Amino acid sequence: GHLAREAREDLLRDLDELEVSAKAPEVVADTERRAQVAYQRLFGDGRGLDGGAPMAWQHFHERYMAAALQEQVSNSLKGKHHFPAMLPGSLIAEEVRKKDAPETLDGQVEALLAQKRQHLAVARLMQEGKELQSFIPGPVPCASPLYEHVYSPIEGCSASNAMTKAPPCGRWEKENVATKDEVAAMQTNMLKAFQHLFHSGPMTSLAVDSSAWPLISKTLTQDLLERSRQAVSDALGGIDLFFSGALLVRLQIPPIDGEMQRNSSRGDEFSAHVDKANVASYDWSAILYLSTVGKDFEGGELLFLDEQKDSQLEPKEGQLVFFSSGLENVHRVRPMVRGRRLVLAMWFTCSQRHAHPDLHFMDRQTDS
């Protein structure tokens, strides 16, 4: 009614003012400078995001300026408390914390840069006929950082070459983290739960958070998560790790047929990647294997890609593999040949602020 119209007119007037102020010469000049810095960071090496030709300055400039204007207006509006939040504020905060969703334009530039660095590393390391060796646990030199301004390494917990008393970058494994009975129970759990989920070709996955507890055994899953976290922490000198995310994943050949099959022809669930390129706050990655290569499935080995040789790990049920999440650990899963491959994948952060809200205080939760 009347109030709503007044509020709307108020808002429109403010919007006009904001647009005018966002277009003030000094603001534009500052935005121009930021656009140049961003372009230099992204394309200063003469290469595009996919390693090909770089984006044209004109095109980038246009998009950056438009996005910057939008950002300034929306920031000012937030400051004015004009809109009631579309979502409860805490929900937005959780989502941002969890995914490190780049909230700012320069955060988006940072994310693009990380994707580019991942892409270039993968392109360099994926070569035909490269020598193969079996997995050797131990430290490896840390690679250059993927991010510069989004997430800073946490002293004494994030992997580092430089910091004293920080764990080194590397990859390790520990057998028998889950017992035979636990593995069998998880297998049963997953097969049952996954009947009700969509499949993407050979892949079915379930994010482990509070919404998963009705589908899988909460007690057992929490037990395995917490034990894995402890094993990783102990192996790295007792560092404080927080769950950032966890995923139950099945790869199955032949893929499940039927109406739950999304039949995406994407084969990228096997492709080479760096975990930290997806989420900046990941410090450590871990995979708990719930089936065994050569017995439950063929293909599906885990490969770490290095300059000279690749290292191949043969997954074994109950085995935990863990590694620093950065560029030094480009990895991929070999295409599946047959059978069913089940894993519990986990990502840890050293930053309590980035902890997953459902998984953080796991040891204090009780089964319901």
Ligand X SMILES: O=C(O)CCC(=O)C(=O)O
Give residues in contact with ligand X (CB under 6 A): 275, 287, 302, 331, 333, 343, 345
User: Would you tell me how many other CB atoms lie within 10 Å of the CB of residue 156?
Assistant: 16
Stretch that binds Fe ion, among 48-56, 82-90, 219-227, 270-278 (CB under 5 A): 270-278
* Torsion angles phi and psi, residue 272, rounded to 5: -70, 135
Please state, in angstroms and as integers, the Cα–Cα distance from residue 192 to each residue in 188, 215, 255, 256, 340, following that order.
6, 8, 16, 14, 14
C-beta separation of 65 from 245 below 8 A: no
Quick one: what does residue 97 bind among Fe ion, ligand X, none, with the CB cut-off 5 to 8 Å set by partner type?
none
C-beta separation of 201 from 265 below 8 A: yes
3-class secondary structure, 363: helix
Quick one: what does residue 301 bind among Fe ion, ligand X, none, with the CB cut-off 5 to 8 Å set by partner type?
none
Toward ligand X, which CB reaches closer, 31 or 292?
Answer: 292
Toward ligand X, which CB reaches closer, 275 or 358?
Answer: 275
DSSP letter for each residue of 135-159: ---EE-PPPPPS-SSS-PPPTTTS-
Contact flag: residue 275 with Fe ion (CB under 5 A): yes
Closest CA to 281 of 243, 232, 246: 243
Contact flag: residue 301 with Fe ion (CB under 5 A): no
Q: How far is the CB of 72 from ligand X (least distance, A)?
A: 36
Residues 6+ positions from 146 with CB-CB distance below 8 Å: 113, 114, 117, 118, 274, 276, 277, 280, 326, 327
Quick one: what does residue 232 bind among ligand X, Fe ion, none, with the CB cut-off 5 to 8 Å set by partner type?
none
Toward Fe ion, which CB reaches closer, 18 or 321?
Answer: 321
Toward Fe ion, which CB reaches closer, 38 or 321?
Answer: 321
Toward ligand X, which CB reaches closer, 42 or 272?
Answer: 272
Q: How far is the CB of 322 from Fe ion (least distance, A)?
A: 11
Q: How far is the CB of 3 from ligand X (least distance, A)?
A: 51
Q: How far apart are the C-alpha atoms of 66 and 301, rounded to whole Å?
A: 45
Residues 6+ positions from 289 with CB-CB distance below 8 Å: 315, 316, 317, 318, 319, 320, 321, 342, 343
Q: Using CB under 5 A, count the residues that bind Fe ion.
A: 1
Quick one: what does residue 302 bind among ligand X, Fe ion, none, with the CB cut-off 5 to 8 Å set by partner type?
ligand X
Q: Nearest 10 degrees: CA dihedral of 86, 115, 278, 159?
A: -130
Pairing of strands 138-139, 170-174: antiparallel
Toward ligand X, which CB reaches closer, 108 or 312?
Answer: 312
Quick one: what does residue 345 bind among ligand X, Fe ion, none, with the CB cut-off 5 to 8 Å set by partner type?
ligand X
Q: How far is the CB of 286 from Fe ion (least distance, A)?
A: 10
Q: Which residue is nearest to ligand X (CB)?
A: 302
Element (H, E) at 300: none
Toward ligand X, which CB reaches closer, 273 or 354?
Answer: 273
Q: How far is the CB of 169 from ligand X (least distance, A)?
A: 16
Toward ligand X, which CB reaches closer, 72 or 228?
Answer: 228
Closest CA to 353 of 244, 227, 233: 244
Quick one: what does residue 154 bind among Fe ion, ligand X, none, with the CB cut-off 5 to 8 Å set by partner type?
none
Contact flag: residue 106 with Fe ion (CB under 5 A): no
Quick one: what does residue 343 bind among Fe ion, ligand X, none, with the CB cut-off 5 to 8 Å set by partner type?
ligand X
Q: Where are the alpha helices (DSSP H) in 100-217?
A: 105-125, 180-194
C-beta separation of 351 from 266 below 8 A: no
Q: How far is the CB of 331 from ligand X (least distance, A)?
A: 5
Toward ligand X, which CB reaches closer, 113 or 287?
Answer: 287
Q: How far apart are the C-alpha atoms of 323 and 282, rounded to whole Å?
A: 11
Q: How far is the CB of 333 from ligand X (least distance, A)?
A: 5
Q: How far is the CB of 302 from ligand X (least distance, A)?
A: 4
Q: How far is the CB of 44 from ligand X (least distance, A)?
A: 29
Residues contributing to the site for Fe ion (CB under 5 A): 275
